[in-house]
Amino acid sequence: MTATTTAPVAATPVRTLRRPSSRLRAWATRAPLLPALIFMIAVTQLPFVATLVISFFDWNALYPKARHFTGLGNYSDVLTDADLRHSVWTTIVLTVTVVLVSLIVGLGLALLLDRRFRGRGIVRTLLIAPFLVVPVAAALLWKHVLYNPEYGLLNGLLHIVGGPQPDWISNTPLLAVEASLVWQWTPFMMLILLAGLQSRDHQQIEAARVDGASDWQIFRHLTLPHLRRYLELGALLGSIYIVQNFDAVFTLTSGGLGTANLPYTVYQSFYQAHENGLASAAGVLVVIGSIIIATFALRVVSSLFREEVSRA
Amino acid sequence: MSATAVPVRSRRTRGPRRTVRARGAGLGLVAWLAGVVFFLPIAWMALTSFHSESDAATNPPSLGAALTLDGYREFFGTGGGASPWPALVNSTVASLVSTLCVLLLALPAAYALSVRPVRKWTDVLFFFLSTKMLPVVAGLLPIYLFAKNTGMLDNIWLLVILYTSMNLPIAVWMMQSFLAEVPVAVIEAAQIDGARLPTVLARVVAPIALPGIAATALICFIFSWNELLFARVLTGVVAETAPVFLTGFITSQGLFLAKVCAASLVISLPVLAAGFAAQDKLVQGLSLGAVK
């Protein structure tokens, strides 16, 4: 303020004085950000750059002297190797199935929970619980307690009604993994969609009802358009987490029976096969896939975010 | 509104209203049913953990078998197996210390981004978010090689650093959205009254933002406690965490169902407790503050 009033009198000296102080002030506002920023760049970006570099080398940790530059050799290996290609496919199928099914079931549950009934809080708590079981513990629960062909609960219940006794994991391995993940992720989708439902404009719905709109019409023309972005957000966040899923695949099938997804393959190729170059190339491919999803995710988050900011 | 119209109206609406109420009760029942179905595996796990091993592994399932604490005794190693205590201690250290580090780094950053907006602050926010979308496997190998060459393998403090980086973006986003709820006018008023920054933070910002900060801490704790891939690759005997301990149960070992259930339940308890404590803010945290 003093600068603006004195500026006409002595323009040049003030300007030279003001510049360092405003720069200082700008740094003072930025300074609290720096530790977090530097930390994130060091811990997440540098290793990725290293992964990128390693991905261009033919490098087996058991034969470190044979390490040499191969350019895109690892990438063509990854893309032509039948097992690796299969794991790309498995990752896609696993992610899409789990996200879609848990989104649909989650929507149904959110609609049920959006209305008042006796014990709504308890039901909400019961429904959230699966999401709050440690993922490895949840996978163990499904593997040993539910799926076990001899004494698992599923076959136990089937036995009571005189049904067949299938070996769930051996017969339908991918479906077994998917079911356990759907169980864990449906509560997540439900919570996001419930928040969406509760942020609806209730006056508008009331007005539509007075005008004689049926429940279905209200759902189709008011609720669903409003929920669209919450559905997108749930789908994208769910995709980001499930593309990276390791725990369920590792625990339920150990990547066997055609259930190895990319994270598991990356883990296996360097941790067990010591193929550092191949693992890195596969890792870079996972990143590219994630960037594609993330671009859309960021767009959705930023549109919700901008709305929040403009509302505030 | 004429008097004669009233009875006609009520007669017309009584029918539909009754069916609406009946349908509402029916849907409430469906909701209850869904809740029970989703919770059933956990309830069954809890029940099985209190059964003896021979009662746990029966077909058809033995619902009313005698209850015992043998599964828990087995899990805690009194039966001769490996003790889970070192793993539980490691997980506690890794989760608590990394959560503390996250708060120390994220609070100033979130403050700079919300209360005193930095120019291009949304860019910075989205940079944090984008790191969360970088899969763990993207940096796993270099981190492993780095740890191997510097002797940091099987060291719990390496996990503390990695878990801090894993949760920092979530925490910055969450806390930014919680701190943004503090009205700027209130802060300015305090400053005009002569309050210094520490006083403003302690007396004005903290009381409003504290529930949000607590929820953020709980969610970071959950993610650290659950993490498997880093822990599996980077730890061995000494720094093993609880989820890595659980992977010891992947292959069947004869009659061990009650023990597995006890182990899964005990190791999930901190997460269940933290999750229910943060229930109201859970969505906001998991959606990175995008949904309120």
The pLDDT of residue B20 is: 64
Domain spans, chain B: 14-75, 85-286
Task: Give the separation between CA A50 and CA B144, rounded to whole angstroms.
Answer: 11
**Of A103 and A47, more confident:** A103
CB-closest option in A43, A108, A263 to B165: A43
Assess whether pLDDT exceeds 70 at residue A81.
yes
Closest CA to A26 of B121, B199, B105, B193: B121
Residue A168, in any domain of the structure: yes
How far is the alpha carbon of A51 from chain B, nearest alpha carbon, in Å?
6
In chain A, residues with a C-beta closer than 8 Å to the C-beta of B144 are 270
Residue A70, in any domain of the structure: no
pLDDT bin (cut points 50, 70, 90) of residue A8 is very low
The pLDDT of residue A18 is: 47
Task: Report how many Cβ contacts below 8 Å link chain A to chain B.
Answer: 316
Contact residues, B window 6-35, toward A, CB-based 8 Å cutoff = 24-25, 27-28, 30-32, 34-35
Assess whether pLDDT exceeds 60 at residue B8.
no
Task: Give the separation between CA A229 and CA A304, rounded to whole angstroms.
Answer: 8
Please report where in the chains the tokens 């979530």 appear, as a residue. B170
The pLDDT of residue A130 is: 94
Q: Are residues A31 and A115 in the same domain?
A: no
Instruction: Produce one character per residue of A60-74: b if its CB has 16 or more CB atoms within 10 Å, e if not.
Output: ebeeeeeeeebeebb
Q: How far apart are the first and last CA of chain B?
A: 43
- Structural domain span for residue A296: 78-311
Task: Give the separation between CA B134 and CA B146, rounded to whole angstroms.
Answer: 19
Q: Are residues A97 and A39 in the same domain?
A: no
Cis preceding-peptide flag for B117 (omega within 30 of 0) = no
Q: Return the structure tokens found at A15.
A: 């300007």
Q: What angle do CA A9, A15, A21 make, to 5 degrees?
A: 130
Q: Are residues A132 and A40 in the same domain?
A: no
pLDDT bin (cut points 50, 70, 90) of residue B264 is very high
Residue A64, in any domain of the structure: no
B85-286, what's its fold? Answer: MetI-like fold (1.10.3720)
**What is the rounded average pLDDT of the residues B82-102?**
92
Residue A4, in any domain of the structure: no
The top-scoring range by mean pLDDT among A46-60, A166-180, B241-255 is: A166-180
Please report where in the chains the tokens 């309120």 appear, as a residue. B292
Task: Give the separation between CA B247 and CA A246, rounded to whole angstroms.
Answer: 12
pLDDT bin (cut points 50, 70, 90) of residue A4 is very low
The pLDDT of residue B82 is: 79
Assess whether pLDDT exceeds 80 at residue A61.
no
Q: Are residues A237 and A271 in the same domain?
A: yes
How far is the alpha carbon of B126 from chain A, nearest alpha carbon, in Å?
8
Contacts of the segment A220-224: beta carbons below 8 A, 24+ positions apart? A223/A197
Q: What is the pLDDT of residues A136-188, one digit of tens each?
A: 999 999 998 899 888 888 888 888 888 888 888 888 899 999 999 999 999 99
Assess whether pLDDT exceeds 90 at residue A129.
yes
Q: What is the ipTM of this complex?
A: 0.84
Q: Are residues A27 and A145 in the same domain?
A: no
Assess whether pLDDT exceeds 80 at residue B3.
no
CB-closest option in A31, A44, A112 to B139: A44
| 3-state SS class at A157 | helix
Residue B206 CB: number of other CB atoms within 10 A? Answer: 12
Assess whether pLDDT exceeds 60 at residue B185.
yes
* Contact partners, residue A120, CB within 8 Å, separation at least 6: A113, B28, B31
Q: Which of A26-30, A121-125, A185-189, B3-7 has the lowest average pLDDT? A: B3-7
In chain B, residues with a C-beta closer than 8 Å to the C-beta of A118 are 28
Q: Are residues A20 and A89 in the same domain?
A: no
**What is the rounded average pLDDT of the residues B95-101?**
95
Closest CA to A244 of A268, A259, A269, A263: A263
In single-letter form, the type of residue at position A79 comes to L
The pLDDT of residue A15 is: 42
pLDDT, chain A, mean:
82
Q: Return the structure tokens found at A27.
A: 């740094």
| 3-state SS class at A84 | helix
Q: Are residues A101 and A19 in the same domain?
A: no
DSSP 8-state code for residue A58: E
Q: How many domains does chain A have?
A: 2
Q: Are residues A303 and A192 in the same domain?
A: yes
CATH number, domain with residue A117: 1.10.3720.10
Chain centroid to Cα B268, Å, comes to 10
pLDDT, chain B, mean:
82
Give the phi and the psi of residue B254 in degrees, each rounded to 5: 65, -140
| 3-state SS class at A69 | strand
Residue A162, in any domain of the structure: yes
For chain A, the farthest-separated pair of C-alpha atoms sits apart, in whole angstroms, at: 98
Percent of chain A at pLDDT > 70 equals 90
Contact residues, A window 269-298, toward B, CB-based 8 Å cutoff = 270-271, 276, 279-280, 282-284, 286-287, 290-291, 293-294, 297-298
Q: What is the pLDDT of residues B39-57, one digit of tens each?
A: 999 999 999 899 888 788 7
* Contact partners, residue A267, CB within 8 Å, separation at least 6: A246, A250, B137, B140, B229, B232, B233
**Of B217 and A32, more confident:** B217
Q: Are residues A46 and A100 in the same domain?
A: no
The pLDDT of residue A102 is: 95
The pLDDT of residue B256 is: 84
Residue A102, in any domain of the structure: yes
Assess whether pLDDT exceeds 90 at residue B252.
no
Q: Return the structure tokens found at B153.
A: 């393998």
Q: Is B116 on the interface with A (CB under 8 A)?
A: yes
Q: Are B288 and B132 in contact (CB under 8 A)?
A: yes
Write the CA distances from B98 to A42, B39, B218, B226, integer angstroms: 16, 31, 12, 13
Assess whether pLDDT exceeds 50 at residue B26.
yes
Q: Are B246 and A116 in contact (CB under 8 A)?
A: no
The pLDDT of residue A99 is: 94
Q: Are residues A140 and A190 in the same domain?
A: yes
* Contact partners, residue B273, CB within 8 Å, separation at least 6: none
Contact residues, B window 45-104, toward A, CB-based 8 Å cutoff = 45, 48, 56-61
